[in-house]
A and B are shown apart, each in its own frame.
Chain A
Amino acid sequence: MTDTAIVKTRGEFADVIYHLVRDPLGCTGFVIVLAFVFAALFADFIVPYDPIALNIKERLQGPSLSHLMGTDQLGRDTFSRVLMGSRVALQVALPTIGGAMFIGILLGMIAGFGSRTVDNAIILFFDTIRSFPTVMFALAVVALVGPSLKTVIFVIMMTSIPTYGRVVRTQTLSLRNSEFILAERSLGASVARILGVHILPNVMGPLAVLAAMDIPTVVGLEAGLSFLGMGVKPPTPSWGSILNDGYTLIRNTPWIIVAGGIPLILTTLGFTFLGEALRDVVDPKLRGQK
């Protein structure tokens, strides 16, 4: 009884933070995510060396105090490149997930609130997009347009729309006949008001969890496509292109691969742990049940 009383005096946001901090994995995830965002935002100030400056004399070095993660075949400092790589990852993840979420919300609500025909048409559209193996689809588009970050963003966004759309549709469907929506309707509220003011806040929780879980996929895909040479153009450092450098030099030095892979694994782990913890908070039924 007292516990619920305490929860009520805290705001909703504080409640989320409270439960997050109590969950060790969620906390770890949160710290990693913070570090990632910090690195991406302030990479310019933190990098010890210019990430694209050549220094042939000091090439292919192992980790040392002056080069924390060693150097690559052109003598570029790997640690600086990894830091700058976090920026590319964020640059791709934010617009991709933002765009996919926006279109997903729109289509999902239309499907959930519209007529049966509209619903079926949108579901069919989702199923069609989902029928492409993502990387294969990306390669088909890249083959024509040529490699660029914009292409990567477009393709990953397209293929993520159904993920969000389906969740929004299910939520909208289950809410459209609930009592508070019926009451709102009988008072003459417009469809836009019902969807925007009443249904939207109810789908945001699950969507936030979904987005946190989706970031690893997006970051991994960007790195993967850049690894295949289908993403960023050199000399821009992305975790994928660093890994590609390391792959070609695998018999000369192991350090570039090790250094390029660690931030990628850490970031995906961080967001996944955070997403898991958020889900437990958003869905109180799961709380403490695990």
Chain B
Amino acid sequence: MLKFATKRIGLALVIAALSVTLLFIIIHLIPGDPARTMLGPRATAEMIADLQARMGLDKTLVEQILIFFGNMLRGDLGMDIFSNRPVATIVFEQLPHTLALILSAIAWSATLGIFLGCFSAVRRNSLADRITGVLAVSFIAAPAFVIALYSLLLFAVKLKWFPAIGAGEPGDIGDIIWHLVLPSFAIGLSWVGYIARLVRASMLEIMGEGHVRTARAFGLPENWITYRYALKLAILPTVTVIGVGMGFLLSAAVFAEIVFSRPGLGKLVIDSITTRNYPVVMGSVLVSTILFVASTTLSDIVNAILDPRIRQAK
């Protein structure tokens, strides 16, 4: 187990390092100079040279990457050009809002998804199963930001059941949850579909396996078999999907944060793009990428702990 975890974490570190490098290279291949873009068309040559030096853009690409990695390992993501505060501080101020949104979305969508998947697997090929199936596909297909807009329009603007703007009073848990409902609903909806389909498929597979037949042969009650044995195994793939889902949710959260004017990583990036605050954009993208790599790694390891077959295979 330890060997699997070490190997997996090693791979994750390599991937994280590569993706940071790739981001750097793409930015250098793209025509355009961050310093020039940030200062706008009226900047003088000296101003540009000065900013380039401050951002380290006058060094070679390899030097820049190495310096960047060095700083990153010390938790230094550069300085915000406007407020002169460390980028890391700004990003980590916003991160909890995004994490709260994503985790709440995972929580409700996984609960409902597992229930629906189980529900339709037990009633395989019935009308209820078919309807759940079509619903699941429709949820998957609906773009999160359209759902966000529609729910804003219906539940916040027209019916006024939920607030339209912000993340709620800091410290007031009830108010924070109140503000989370709509954004969390919007980005979680398609995951209900994914998880329901996944759980249904793996339930059906497991119900056909030998140990379930043996349990039946021993005369165990059908409910006992379904919920105590089959469901326990059928939930496993969900763990992997949630790890991968983190990336999709980080993307969807950008839209939810804009639509509901919530603070968070996505809003930070968009605001920083409009003000051409380049270091903050890079810092936020970097943190979200590392978060994504970490969550896929974690879910793989959790999966290996839960399912011995995976450990053996690698």
Residues of A within 8 A of B (CB): 25, 124, 127-137, 139-146, 216, 220, 223-224, 227-228, 230, 243, 246-247, 250-251, 254, 257-258, 261, 264-265, 268-269, 271-273, 276, 290
CA distance A134 to B248 in the complex (A): 7
CA distance A136 to B91 in the complex (A): 14
B30 within 8 A of A: yes
Q: Is B143 touching A143 in the complex (CB atoms < 8 A)?
A: no
A-B contact sample (11 more), CB < 8 A, given A128-B22, A145-B31: A25-B137, A132-B19, A136-B265, A139-B281, A140-B282, A140-B285, A143-B273, A257-B153, A264-B146, A268-B142, A272-B137
Q: Is B288 touching A133 in the complex (CB atoms < 8 A)?
A: yes
- Report which of A139, A141, A276 forms a contact with B26, defined as CB distance below 8 A: A141
A-B contact pairs, 18 of them (CB 8 A): A128-B18, A130-B247, A131-B247, A131-B289, A133-B251, A143-B272, A143-B281, A146-B32, A243-B149, A247-B149, A254-B153, A254-B157, A261-B150, A264-B143, A268-B141, A269-B142, A273-B137, A276-B137
- Report which of A140, A220, A269 forms a contact with B23, defined as CB distance below 8 A: A140
Contacts of A258 in B (CB 8 A): 150, 153
Q: Is B259 touching A216 in the complex (CB atoms < 8 A)?
A: no
Residues of B within 8 A of A (CB): 11, 14-16, 18-19, 22-23, 26-27, 30-32, 34, 37, 125, 133-134, 137-138, 140-143, 145-146, 149-150, 152-153, 157-158, 247-248, 250-252, 254-255, 258-259, 265-266, 269-270, 272-273, 276, 278, 281-282, 284-285, 288-289, 292-293, 296
Min Cβ gap A254→B in Å is 6
Q: Which of B152, B153, B158 has the most A CB atoms < 10 Å from its CB?
A: B153
Closest partner residue, chain A, to B255 (CB atom) = A224
CA distance A254 to B159 in the complex (A): 13
Min Cβ gap B82→A in Å is 15
CA distance A269 to B137 in the complex (A): 8
- Given the known interface contacts A144-B30, A216-B141, A257-B149, the answer about A228 and B158 at a Cβ–Cβ threshold of 8 Å is no
| Inter-chain residue pair count (beta carbon < 8 A) | 149
CA distance A53 to B28 in the complex (A): 40
Contacts of A124 in B (CB 8 A): 14-15, 18
Prevailing SS type, chain A contact patch? helix
CA distance A140 to B289 in the complex (A): 11
Q: Is A224 touching B143 in the complex (CB atoms < 8 A)?
A: yes
Q: Which of B143, B270, B282 has the most A CB atoms < 10 Å from its CB?
A: B143
- Given the known interface contacts A250-B152, A261-B149, the answer about A136 and B30 at a Cβ–Cβ threshold of 8 Å is no
- Given the known interface contacts A139-B273, A228-B258, A272-B137, the answer about A133 and B30 at a Cβ–Cβ threshold of 8 Å is no
Closest partner residue, chain A, to B22 (CB atom) = A128
Contacts of B259 in A (CB 8 A): 247
CA distance A70 to B10 in the complex (A): 57
- Given the known interface contacts A140-B281, A228-B270, A269-B138, the answer about A261 and B23 at a Cβ–Cβ threshold of 8 Å is no
